[in-house]
């Protein structure tokens, strides 16, 4: 229970940090807004031309009599739109982080400098394109894992009573875990921690991860909320990453007004059960 509270505390501290640093918050909104516009354009296009697409994909039903033709294609159109919405929810964070890699990298470094006792922050020595490649590759791997869990939970959802009570709750915890993995990847990738070690690190403190990610996953269900919470979510995930790695967090919640002094490369703290942070 203590770790659950600590995880939720990191989430709140991250939101408070960006509230005190308006410039960082403003820059952090840009990637989410870009992703939102792209997703809305795709969904609107699907709403406008989804019926035509279904008709093109089902020529065998052209000769069906009314009302079966309309019911069949209407059902497929609804399923197609529902799947698109589900895919949008599952991929929004990953796509936003990929688009906003430079923005969130800078924000995460500012948080590190702000809470570090000596005002320093680990820096990545990788070129931007290399970082984008690693981020996209790892996000795809995490998405595959999340999709497998989604298929399993969907199948379990048909079990009477359990599927309508236990399964949705488990689904939020699973979503919270993978959401936390995506968000902490900004700080952990900068420290050279590979995906396999990141997952092991998160599994070693599941209650801490659930305390952070599950409330965030629930809040992301509200339309447009994800865009406005993303900067604070990245800031909070940086604090969570420091906790997972055993790095000291400076006492006090106010932080330095300017986000810290000039960053210098420092060695990451102990990586706990995941072992030492590897290099790329």
Candidates 105, 112, 275; CA nearest to 194 is 275
Average pLDDT, the chain: 82
Predicted pLDDT at 113: 92
pLDDT band at 201 (very low <50, low <70, confident <90, very high): very high
Predicted pLDDT at 252: 52
**pLDDT tens-place string over residues 142-168:** 888 887 887 788 788 778 887 778 888
Residue 86: other Cβ atoms inside 10 A: 12
pLDDT band at 215 (very low <50, low <70, confident <90, very high): very high
Residue 69: other Cβ atoms inside 10 A: 15
Q: Record the tokens describing residue 254, joined without a space.
A: 């106010």
Q: Residue range 228-242: average pLDDT?
A: 94
Sequence-distant (6+) residues with CB within 8 A of 39 are 88, 92
Predicted pLDDT at 251: 59
* Cis check: omega of the bond before 67, within 30 degrees of 0: yes
Q: Residue range 196-211: average pLDDT?
A: 93
**pLDDT tens-place string over residues 69-113:** 888 888 888 878 877 876 777 678 888 888 888 889 889 999 999
Predicted pLDDT at 46: 87
Report the predicted TM-score, pTM, of the whole model to 2 decimal places.
0.76
**Cα 209 → chain centroid:** 12
pLDDT value at 138 more than 60: yes
274 or 86, greater pLDDT: 86
Rounded CA-CA distance 274/181 in Å is: 14
Q: Residue range 58-69: average pLDDT?
A: 85
């Amino acid at each position: 229970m203590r770790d659950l509270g600590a995880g939720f505390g990191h989430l709140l501290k991250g939101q408070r940090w960006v509230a005190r640093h308006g410039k960082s918050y403003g820059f952090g909104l840009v990637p989410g807004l870009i992703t939102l516009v792209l997703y809305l354009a795709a969904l609107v296009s699907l709403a406008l031309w989804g019926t035509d697409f279904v008709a093109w994909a089902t020529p065998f039903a052209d000769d069906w009599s009314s009302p079966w033709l309309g019911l069949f294609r209407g059902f497929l159109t609804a399923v197609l739109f529902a799947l698109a919405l589900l895919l949008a929810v599952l991929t929004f964070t990953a796509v936003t982080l990929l688009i906003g890699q430079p923005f969130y990298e800078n924000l995460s470094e500012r948080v590190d400098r702000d809470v570090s006792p000596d005002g320093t922050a680990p820096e990545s020595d990788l070129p931007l394109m290399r970082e984008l490649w690693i981020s996209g590759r790892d996000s795809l791997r995490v998405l595959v894992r999340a999709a497998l869990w989604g298929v399993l939970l969907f199948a379990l959802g048909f079990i009477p009573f359990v599927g309508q009570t236990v399964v949705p709750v488990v689904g939020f915890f699973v979503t919270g875990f993978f959401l936390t993995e995506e968000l902490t990847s900004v700080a952990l990738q900068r420290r050279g921690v590979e995906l396999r070690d990141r997952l092991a690190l998160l599994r070693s403190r599941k209650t801490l991860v659930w305390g952070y990610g599950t409330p965030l996953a629930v809040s992301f269900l509200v339309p447009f909320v994800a865009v406005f919470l993303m900067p604070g979510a990245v800031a909070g995930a940086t604090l969570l990453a420091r906790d997972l790695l055993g790095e000291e967090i400076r006492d006090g919640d106010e932080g330095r007004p300017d986000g810290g002094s000039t960053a210098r490369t420092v060695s990451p703290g102990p990586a706990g059960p995941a072992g030492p942070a590897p290099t790329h």
